[in-house]
A and B are shown apart, each in its own frame.
Chain A
Amino acid sequence: MTAATSRLKPLGPLPTNVRGAQRTLDELWAQTDIETRAYTGNIIALTEPHYQGRIQEALTGLEGRYAGRQIIAVMQPSASGRMSIDAELVPQQGLYIERLTLLANPGQLRGAILPLLRPATVNHVWWASDDPPGGPLLRELTEIADQVIADSLRLDIPPARQYALADLGWSRSAAWREALAQLFDSKDAASVLGQVTRLKVWSGGKNDRAARLYAAWVACTLGWKDLSAVTFVRGDCERQHGDLCGVELSGPGVRFTLKATGKEGVRSTVKFGTANRQTSMMVPSMTLAEGLGRVMARPERGSVFEAAWTLARASLAEAAPESQ
């Protein structure tokens, strides 16, 4: 257990090594008045030097203590010397979490991470890198992962049954899925869903992968075989980059639209038959930490996500190959 006063001070970092990491952490724990600890899991974040700060910030900002031990493995292909490992205790929501930060080339990291895991708990592996997720290191870690968090549409490793695949883009669009579902909680609206033939999705950011997953979810739900009826449009709204800006389902005589208004609001327009409704709803934006927390809170396999992922992935394969 790590609960203590709400004004905890960070302890460390102290340099250590793979064999001495647990001892170093114990020395840091000894500086606290905390006698018992609860282990809720490990998260291994594989990242690059220029993302290290953001990854640390996201991990510190998690609202839940889903992983009591955080291992940030900074992949530096050019590193040729000794691997550096720092150990620290970081306050998070009035609790301490253990953080080990490794800086090494991917080859060195391969043998270093497994011994550092807190045993017999849930393991989250987060590919937090620009490169498409893959390679021997990630492949090795998927063997012990309960959950792999990655830009899933670029995943270079076939999904396996022993871990759940998660995507922060999917996670962060949860409120948009909820908003769209709310439009069809009214039975009269649900009854005309069969007339929807087109989907348009507006997204921020510079790629459409989160939008593609969202569209695939809609398409799966409506029984579409592919995304040929989907149009992706670069949106321009006040919401965070990577978030959606709008969705429109349409067809003969029906139109259902969600459009971002401000940073948290969405305006809905529903038109079918004699119905012409406009209203608004809260669709909270999710920060990286919130999205991460959401997927970590429940690392279960998601059949709905997997179906959407399969369709979205297939749509990419049918399109022109990406330039990396």
Chain B
Amino acid sequence: MAKKTPTKRPAPEAAAKPPKPSTTAKRAAAKPQPVSSTLIESDDVLPGAAGHQPPVKAARSKKAAPEAAPAKTRRRGKAADPLLTPAEQATSDQPGADQISAQTLLPDGDNNPFRTGMRRSRAPEPATLVIFGATGDLARRKLLPAVFGLWQDGLLGSAFNIVGVGRQEMTDEQFKDYAIEALNTSKETDTPHPGSLEKFRELLYYEFGDFGADDVYERVKTQLDEAEDAHGGRKNALFYLSTPPSLFEPISNGLGRLGLQDQSEGWRRIIIEKPFGRDLASARHLNDTLHAVWNESQVYRIDHYLGKETVQNLMAIRFGNAIFEPLWNRAYVDHIQITNAEDLGLEGRAGYYEEAGVVRDMLQNHLMQVVALTAMEPPAAFDADAIRDEKVKALRAIKRIPIERVAEVAVRGQYGPGTLDGEHVPGYREEPNVQPGSVTPTYVAVKYEIDNWRWQGVPFYVRSGKRLPKKVTEIAVVFKRPPLGLFPGGLERNVLAFRIQPDEGVSLKFSSKTPGQENQLREVVMDFRYDAFGAQLESPYSRLLLDAMVGDATLFPREDEVDQAWQIVSGILEAWDAASPNAVPAPEFPNYDAGTWGPDAADKLLGPDRRWRRL
């Protein structure tokens, strides 16, 4: 791999002359106008505030009008600050004409009093975001738009840089072009303000090399040094591993070899994308590998489901209201249903999916997190450890599923040809790059039993599949029937349902008398949709990136959570792995048609008097 000659950020020159004052500053300096308390002119008062209001500008919406103008290069090399002129840049951080003598530091100067009472208790300190796999699909579609949105909203602070790292040879300029193109084409990009893309472009740098060698990490280290030189502050860095899982270990080790995990000069954190291992043993190996370099407090395992507003709303509704929690137990709940249905097929991801299957793709991570959030006890506080402690306790209480219990509590399926939205779609085995006789499951339904006081005897049914009739994810708390039937007709169960996507919201199903002379009851649904607030939902990556930057790990699964999740599905994986010596032969695949709700056996899993919700 060819080495790239490091380009230096503009070297600050000695500040022999002070910065050129701006027009504003000049005017202000020439004509200071202390206005004190007398400057009140009501014809220019903003109603409800001070000032004047020009016409309301267009609401900021996602990708309403991508900036068409091509980004221009402002300067060559590593411009440290896109809003500074070269002269201003040059004077930065140099003791100059108005050099100030050293001051005695206050003993309690570590705290920032301006953060007291602010909505965000902390903003990210000056930092560099280092994205490994910066030219990959995830970075292009999700990460770069999320970072841009945060930066444009002023949430990333004054000194922020992005260093893209990849194996692909590319110059800084080429990477800047690539990133701007990605922002212009991603549906997730916020509408850029005029000039924003050009300014953001100047924050981007690129390094490339072999992830198994030291060179590329040395250049990353140099980048951190330059960022510190340019902006002051410390060498804070967030390393985002947006790469195939096989590269997690070499990158982590490479960073460790160069001492880039060391926090003596600034905080260092590492984000690991899913999948975190492919089974319990590999997950534990990966944890061990990471911990050889990083403390657990530095490791952020990302599960973008936890960044979704409505997943977080589950905790808000459970623990922010008094009416739900008293009912949230075995005394009132008959069972829980968690559904994750996708109408899509493989979408070109056969290589990954043939290896992963639905259990690794959805059940072990996203859906296990949802189960944990649904089942957990109220945390002692809303902080990372308190919440994760409770999630781990819930996961630990899930009755293990050894291989001999798998047939009893789990159902697998694979879709065959069928019809979706009036269109014929191929079966899984007919998808490009899928083995003709593949036994990879595309559907799973499983019954979890939670052995604790709250949930004893309340099954959690979880199902997930591809090529189901529609895209929907929901958690349904199905309550017990009333103990006594006073009214004619059957008694129905109340259902409190949380829709995670789409149409995020909460609904409550209950019975009401129908109009007429008879006391006839009928089920009705009271519906709250999250879009009643009318606000744009932020990208989960945006929330999670910002949390990682400020060091809030609440929404990142901890080591023991991941371990527990793998333990829970290990028996299922072993039973369904055709290469395993304990493999249980797969049913006749395909066993459900594309466009249907999965195999019949899934219905039987619920037993008598229960059925999957018709969504």
Contact = CB atoms under 8 A, between A and B. Distances in A.
Contact of B83 (A174, A265, A277, A318): A265
A42 to B, nearest CB: 14
Given A55-B47, A58-B56, A38 B528 contact: yes
A5 B54 CA distance: 30
A168 interface: yes
B103 A254 contact: yes
Interface stretch (A8-16, A17-25, A110-118, A226-234): A226-234
Interface string B3-34: 00000000000010001001111011000111
Contacts, number: 352
Q: Which of A168, A182, A240 has the most CB of B within 10 A?
A: A182
A304 B114 CA distance: 10
A232 B46 contact: no
B56 A205 contact: no
A322 B109 contact: no
A278 B503 CA distance: 46
Interface stretch (A64-72, A76-84, A100-108): A64-72
Nearest to A294: B119
B114 A177 contact: yes
A126 B48 CA distance: 7
Interface string A231-250: 11111110011110110000
Given A64-B535, A129-B47, A246-B24, A241 B232 contact: no
B112 interface: yes
A169 B529 contact: no
Contacts of A195: 103
A63 B60 contact: yes
B53 A54 contact: yes
A44 interface: no
Interface in B61-95: 80-84, 88-89, 91-95
Contacts of B503: 3
Given A93-B59, A181-B123, A278-B19, A168 B158 contact: no
A279 B92 contact: yes
B453 interface: no
B527 A289 contact: no
Interface core residue of B35, B57, B102 (most chain A CB under 10 Å) = B35
A192 B406 CA distance: 64
A270 B199 CA distance: 22
A269 B114 CA distance: 17
Given A188-B105, A208-B35, A236-B24, A276 B50 contact: no
A1 B532 contact: yes
A184 B233 CA distance: 10
A36 B526 CA distance: 8
Nearest to B503: A3
B608 interface: no
Nearest to A195: B103
Interface residues of B, number: 98
Interface stretch (B36-44, B164-172, B485-493): B36-44
A28 interface: no
A268 B83 CA distance: 10
Given A68-B532, A208-B39, A184 B112 contact: yes
Contact of B45 (A151, A178, A231, A269): A151
B110 interface: yes
Q: Is chain A's interface secondary structure helix, strand, loop, or mixed overall?
A: mixed
A254 to B, nearest CB: 7
A95 B531 CA distance: 8
A61 B53 CA distance: 13
Contacts of A232: 34-36, 39
A66 B91 contact: no
Contacts of A231: 32, 34
Interface string A262-289: 1011011111111111111111100111
A180 interface: yes
Contact of B81 (A51, A128, A253, A278): A278
B60 A304 contact: no
Nearest to A251: B103
A157 interface: no
B283 to A, nearest CB: 35
B14 to A, nearest CB: 11
Interface residues of A, number: 130
Interface in B91-137: 91-96, 98-103, 105-106, 109-120, 122-123, 125-126
Contact of A273 (B57, B100, B114, B126): B100
A109 interface: no
Given A36-B527, A269-B19, A304 B118 contact: yes
Contact of B53 (A126, A187, A241, A269): A241
A92 B536 CA distance: 12
Given A61-B59, A288-B56, A276 B534 contact: no
B589 interface: no
A147 to B, nearest CB: 11
B59 A289 contact: yes
A95 B533 CA distance: 9
Given A63-B59, A207-B40, A221-B113, A233 B34 contact: yes
B152 interface: yes
Contact of B93 (A209, A246, A275): A275
B302 to A, nearest CB: 24
A149 interface: yes
Given A186-B126, A207-B39, A279-B92, A168 B48 contact: yes
Contact of B50 (A47, A174, A188, A205): A205
In this complex, which of A170, A204, A242, A260 has the most chain B Cβ atoms within 10 angstroms of its Cβ?
A: A242
List the 4 shortest-distance A-B pairs measured between CB atoms, nearest first. Answer: A242-B51, A191-B109, A65-B534, A319-B37
14 contacts: A3-B532, A54-B47, A58-B53, A61-B59, A93-B534, A128-B48, A185-B115, A192-B103, A203-B50, A209-B40, A274-B102, A280-B84, A281-B83, A304-B118
Interface of B: 15, 19, 22-25, 27-28, 32-57, 59-60, 80-84, 88-89, 91-96, 98-103, 105-106, 109-120, 122-123, 125-126, 151-154, 157-159, 193, 195-196, 199, 231-234, 503, 527-529, 531-536
Given A179-B158, A231-B34, A276-B99, 18 more contacts: A63-B536, A65-B531, A151-B45, A151-B46, A181-B118, A185-B123, A186-B233, A195-B103, A203-B51, A210-B49, A221-B116, A235-B28, A242-B52, A267-B22, A276-B100, A277-B92, A289-B59, A322-B37
